[in-house]
Chains A and B, each alone.
Chain A
Amino acid sequence: MSINEFKEIIVNSNVELKGELAAEKTMAENGVDSLDLTLISYELSDVTGREITLHTGQTPNQILDMVNS
């Protein structure tokens, strides 16, 4: 999964980011809270077919490493 595909998942989760998603910043620093993250996890699990649990301390890069491993 690429960063652009991950951004698309965020859009499909109906989560609104205040600015551009920064790959090196944590999800919390990107303005994502636990409700947003649960919705993103849900969408990501649906797309990948795997149960994926995220936390706000992860960065998008770390999430992609996990998804792509």
Chain B
Amino acid sequence: MKTEAWVLKEKDEASAEFVYEEFEFSDIQSDEVLAEPLIGSVEGNYVHAVEKKPENIFAARGEDRIVLGNAGIVRIKETGSDVKNVVPGDICILFGNAKPDKYGYPIKVTGYDQPGSVGMLAKTIKLTSHEVIPIPKDTKLTYEQWAMFSLKFVTAWSNWKSALKAFRIQMEDMPLEEMNVWGWGGGVSYAELRLASILGCRTGMILGSSDMQELCRKNGIAAVDRNMPQSSIIEEVMKLTGGEGVSVFIDNIGKATYNTTMRLLSRQGVLATCGWRSGGMYPVIRQNECINRHIHVFTHYAPVRDGIEAIDFAEKHDWIPPYDGEVCSFEKVPQLIEDVRLGRNRSYYSLFRINEI
């Protein structure tokens, strides 16, 4: 099968570049589907791949040409003989758990580090049937919202489940309404805070973008300006949490924010992480963490059961991604990814159209 695609190739030691050209992959097998990508969503993995860090994706896959793309929606064109969950014509979210462990948790991601996988940056792709989940027929969400949902909201769902259970290990009786859930600015963080907010928790985000601050406030999430000095941020958050500090802190950034995060985390608090935007390493100050009885939760994307639960919850409880109407054309995708890489994007959610719906 031949298709047109934005193919990522190594440029030099520290970068890679996109080239628009023909890409060929083998015919579908009995458990695979042929699909047309419709709307894609730029995610952190694109930046990791282009910058070749924290790992060189070409070396990890043993390939010199890669079609990236681990989030968005696709239309099923053909199905293999053993495929039961979708039929041609279905519109599905891409569920990028390409290689789960025996418990269902992802080891490798579609359109990123799974060797041989073809991601959303192609006009036609093939996927294993477990990499697609159909969108409900009578959905309240737009296709654009589902494209935003496919990775960030599913990731948020799975991380929240673990974080809340971890918090409950020590704080069994605290009502959700008394829990303070905060995070640093970002798309997954926003999704998780909206989820906590819907469940009744007091929520807040520390972020720089004024547009996103407005979005948070409109949706019941307090917003604190990240550009303030650390002491002012701490003072403001402590004031907003009634002096308690943060029960569950979503920190998907890392090194740059760790110091402030640890100062804001309440006793018996949970540090929840499912991303690593700034630095993969930070010191754990064991005496501090023991005395404060902190729990650290690390998750990565989700098992398929969490994806299905997240979709169901979204429909029933209006857990809906924001949509500002902007979808980039397929021709301009490399520029969009560069804007995301450099932090020039206005929104946490950057979409592009591959094929017409």
Interface pair A14/B259, CB less than 8 Å apart: yes
Given A16-B230, A16-B231, A18-B231: A38 and B285 interface contact (C-beta under 8 Å): yes
* Nearest residue, chain A, Cβ from B262: A35
Q: Closest approach, in angstroms, between the C-beta of B4 and any C-beta of chain A?
A: 43
Q: How large is the interface on B (under 10, 10 to 19, 20 to 34, 35 or more residues)?
A: 10 to 19
B-side interface mostly: helix
In whole angstroms, how far apart are the Cα atoms of A34 and B287 in the complex? Answer: 11
Asked if B255 lies at the interface with its beta carbon under 8 angstroms from chain A, I say yes
> Roughly how many angstroms separate A39 CA and B259 CA in the complex, as a whole number?
8
Chain A: interface residue total (CB-CB under 8 A): 12
CB distance from A38 to the nearest CB of B (A): 5
Closest-by-CB residue of B relative to A15 is B259
Q: Contact string, A6-34, partner B, CB cutoff 8 A, digits 1/0?
A: 00000001111010000000000000001
> Count of A-B contacts with CB under 8 A?
29
Nearest neighbor of B283 in chain A, beta-carbon distance: A42
B258 within 8 A of A: yes
Smallest Cβ distance from A45 to chain B, in angstroms? 9
Give Cα A35 to B258, complex, Å.
10
CB distance from B183 to the nearest CB of A (A): 17
Chain A residues whose C-beta falls within 8 Å of the C-beta of B283 in the assembled complex: 38-39, 41-42
- For chain B residues 241-274, which have a beta carbon within 8 Å of chain A? 255-259, 262-263
Q: Are A14 and B231 in contact (CB under 8 A)?
A: no
B288 interface residue (CB < 8 Å to A): yes
Asked if B282 lies at the interface with its beta carbon under 8 angstroms from chain A, I say yes
> Which B261-301 residues sit within 8 Å CB-CB of chain A?
262-263, 282-283, 285, 288
Q: Which residues of B contact A (CB under 8 A)?
A: 229-231, 255-259, 262-263, 282-283, 285, 288
